[in-house]
Amino acid sequence: MLAHTALLGKKIAPWCIYIGDKKARELNNVMLNIKVAASFAELYEKIEDFKKANKYIKEYYTLKDSIFSLEKQNQIVELQEKYKTEKQKTTIDLLKKEKEIDQIKINKQNVYIYTTTFIIVLVLVILLLVTRLDNPEHTDPLKPEIEKLD
């Protein structure tokens, strides 16, 4: 009975693995393909078909390496995106600071222009007043009229 069960297991196991292999390939699922390759390698090792066992061990490691490579590639892409995002953020922050500095410079220039303009106008008004005070004819425009009346 035990020998019959072992024989039945040897006949059913390859069939089950074959179905799993077919489904894994249909789904294009690399993780399932890895498990199937490992199962085939183990099965052929147990029945001492080392040539086929070796074939599936090689397939197993090839698939494992491709998964590892894909994971590393994804990590590299993720790090590159993160770097790019940080670089853009830094550039945006720098541009904002430059804009603030430019605005401060413009405000300082405006204050300088307004102050200078105010001082010039004030000097002109003072000069006008001084010239009027120095010239007696311009001090009182009605004075000649008053003198005529007297």
pLDDT digits (tens, 9 = 90+) for 15-55: 777 777 777 777 777 788 888 888 888 888 888 888 988 88
Whether residue 29 is contained in a domain is answered as: yes
Percent of the chain with pLDDT over 70: 82
Mean pLDDT of 58-65: 88
Whether residue 149 is contained in a domain is answered as: no
What is residue 89's predicted lDDT score, i.e. its pLDDT?
96
Whether residue 146 is contained in a domain is answered as: no
What is residue 129's predicted lDDT score, i.e. its pLDDT?
85
Q: Which residues contact 32 (CB under 8 A, 6 or more apart)?
A: 20, 23, 24
What is residue 137's predicted lDDT score, i.e. its pLDDT?
58
Report which of residues 149 and 37 the model is more confident about.
37
Provide the residue range defining the domain that includes 67.
Answer: 2-127
Total count of domains within the chain: 1
Report which of residues 13 and 98 the model is more confident about.
98
Whether residue 142 is contained in a domain is answered as: no
Whether residue 84 is contained in a domain is answered as: yes
Mean pLDDT of 78-88: 95
Does position 127 have pLDDT exceeding 50, yes or no?
Answer: yes
Closest alpha carbon to 13 in 1, 3, 21, 24: 21
What is residue 143's predicted lDDT score, i.e. its pLDDT?
60
Q: Cα–Cα distance between 105 and 107 in angstroms, integer? A: 5
Whether residue 138 is contained in a domain is answered as: no
